[in-house]
Amino acid sequence: MIDAANPLSWVPSANGHPDFPLHNLPLGVFSVAGQTPRGGVAIGEHILDLQVACAAGLFEGEAEAAARAASGDCLNAFFALGAPARRALRAALTGLLAEGSPARMHMEALGDALLPAMADCRLHLPARVGDYTDFYVGIHHANNVGKLFRPDNPLLPNYKHVPIGYHGRASTVCVSGTPVRRPLGQTLPPGQEAPSFGPSKRLDYELELGIWIGEGNAMGESIAIGEAGEHVAGYCLLNDWSARDLQAWEYQPLGPFLAKNFATTVSPWVVMPEALAPFRIAQPPRPAGDPQPLPYLLDAQDQAAGAFDIELEVLLQSAAMREQGLAPQRLALSNTRHMYWTVAQMVAHHSVGGCMLQPGDLFGSGTLSGPEPEQFGSLLESSFGGKQALTLSSGETRTFLEDGDEVILRARCRREGQPSIGFGECRGVLLPARSA
């Protein structure tokens, strides 16, 4: 008998899997040795190969069209089909992989060809990123960073009216596991009048939620807030690597540039909005006394849906920790509930002036810190601007990242009576700078 709230799969490793039970079913792009990259679905310790599944005739109708669009070497064509096609594919996948699936014997007979072990697969960037936009909706982060510069007045006057964002670099968005090289650049060392050139000395991570855009809008048109949710294809984790010393010197007056454009790492799985739907938390959208959003940012259904309740974790493993066999150490545990603006507000704002969004565009939420130090999503915050070092299990200390450090982001959703789901990991190890 199927428990509707906790359905089981005939893929044994899916049942009780912390990240990829039957309820999750995130999409990604993977390859096994000797084969071309193709779309797949995470289920337990396996990936369902959408090319093999299509060839085996497992789908029909709208779900088949969606599965075919998702079976290529990137998910852009699938994202372009929009939310109804995604829901059709999700429903079909849920049926195929559920315990009582009529297709079970057929699928089991296909064996590893249909369901290779994830451990044998390489995961790729799930979509070609057209444009990448980084927002700044983590209000505690904005407060913490603002305090370093303006102790009495940390939030700028526009913060509670405008979902602040800026354009990031699409070409260097890379998938989890890609090593990241410490950037060279200009900095103005304290007390000096002329800048120096060399490797960044204040290299940092930023813990963010990534948002993949589905169906877009034409140039000159916009996406109304009431429809914004239908334009989101899914979610991932995002590490917005940041060189704080480069940033401080370069960012006036046009914003961050080399401080951010050397790398942005995303987790490989695209978690569908439908999988996250049960994990919302009713909270007042904004504290009493805060200004009401302008009408183009206000939608009753969006406000009523509540914030996402997704635990976000940053861990660090230094080279010495790896050598000593020490596990990655948690540096922070935060939550998406600290977003001051909803994803629908971000989509509506981004497009309201006529900016064209396209399938495969990527948004970052901005750093999602909580109010407490153990919830801070960047080292700039955790080290209080580099003034207070963290101690690692190896006995090493950190204000900012050292070469060889691996930064690992994780996300998990838990709720009473629901199977928990996770995002998989977003990892990146820091390589030394090129010689200057």
**Residue numbers annotated as active site:** 141
Which one of 256, 364, 377, 419 is in contact with a copy of itself (CB under 8 A)? 256
Interaction between residue 34 and a copy of itself (CB under 8 A): no
Residue for token digits 């006995």? Answer: 395
Three-class SS state of 312: strand
Instruction: Indicate the residue among 26 and 216 with the shorter CB distance to a copy of itself.
Output: 216
Backbone φ and ψ of 381, nearest 5°: -80, -50
Instruction: Indicate the residue among 87 and 160 with the shorter CB distance to a copy of itself.
Output: 160
Which amino acid is it at 202? R
298: which strand partners?
A: none
Task: Give dist(CA 259, CA 264) in Å, integer.
Answer: 11
Identify which of 180, 257, 261 has the alpha carbon closest to the alpha carbon of residue 426: 180
Angle, CA of 269, 273 and 276, to the nearest 5°: 90
Please report, as residue ranges, which positions from 271 to 330 form the binding site for a copy of itself (by CB under 8 A).
291, 294-296
R_g (Cα) of the chain, nearest Å: 22
Which one of 114, 258, 339, 362 is in contact with a copy of itself (CB under 8 A)? 258
To a copy of itself, the closest distance from the beta carbon of 214 in angstroms equals 15
To a copy of itself, the closest distance from the beta carbon of 344 in angstroms equals 17
Give the binding range for a copy of itself (CB under 8 A) out of 107-115, 319-327, 348-356, 394-402: 348-356
Is 112 labelled as part of a ligand binding site? no
Residue 91: which residues within 8 A CB-CB, separation 6 or more?
Answer: 63
Interaction between residue 219 and a copy of itself (CB under 8 A): yes
Q: And the tokens for 127?
A: 């979509």
Is 367 labelled as part of a ligand binding site? yes
Give the binding range for a copy of itself (CB under 8 A) out of 14-22, 261-269, 279-287, 381-389: 261-269
Interaction between residue 224 and a copy of itself (CB under 8 A): no
Is 152 labelled as part of a ligand binding site? no
Lay out the site mask for a copy of itself across 355-374 (x = CB under 8 A, - = otherwise): xxxx--x-------------
Instruction: Indicate the residue among 47 and 228 with the shorter CB distance to a copy of itself.
Output: 228
Please report, as residue ranges, which positions from 154 to 193 form the binding site for a copy of itself (by CB under 8 A).
156-158, 161-162, 164-172, 174, 180-181, 183-186, 188
Half-sphere CA count of 389, side-chain side, radius 13 A? 8
Please report, as residue ranges, which positions from 100 to 139 form the binding site for a copy of itself (by CB under 8 A).
130-131, 134, 136
Q: How far is CA 432 from the centre of its chain?
A: 25
Strands 132-135 and 362-364, bridge-based pairing: parallel
Instruction: Indicate the residue among 251 and 384 with the shorter CB distance to a copy of itself.
Output: 251
Residue 221 CB coordination number (10 Å) = 12
Task: Give dist(CA 62, CA 40) in Å, integer.
Answer: 17
Which amino acid is it at 168? G
To a copy of itself, the closest distance from the beta carbon of 389 in angstroms equals 25
Instruction: Indicate the residue among 167 and 330 with the shorter CB distance to a copy of itself.
Output: 167
Q: And the tokens for 342?
A: 């909803």
Question: Do the beta carbons of residue 407 and residue 431 sit within 8 Å?
Answer: no
Question: Do the beta carbons of residue 15 and residue 8 sit within 8 Å?
Answer: yes
Task: Give dist(CA 348, CA 338) in Å, integer.
Answer: 19
Task: Give dist(CA 143, CA 187) in Å, integer.
Answer: 24
Is 133 labelled as part of a ligand binding site? no
Residue for token digits 């010689």? Answer: 435
Is 132 labelled as part of a ligand binding site? no
How many residues bind a copy of itself (CB under 8 A)? The answer is: 66
Please give the annotated binding residues, written as ranges: 134, 136, 150, 206, 208, 240, 247, 251, 260, 264, 367
Please give the annotated binding residues for Ca(2+), written as ranges: 134, 206, 208, 240
Binding positions for a copy of itself, rule: CB under 8 A: 130-131, 134, 136, 156-158, 161-162, 164-172, 174, 180-181, 183-186, 188, 194-195, 197, 200, 219-222, 243, 246, 249-258, 261-263, 291, 294-296, 349-350, 352-358, 361, 431, 434, 436
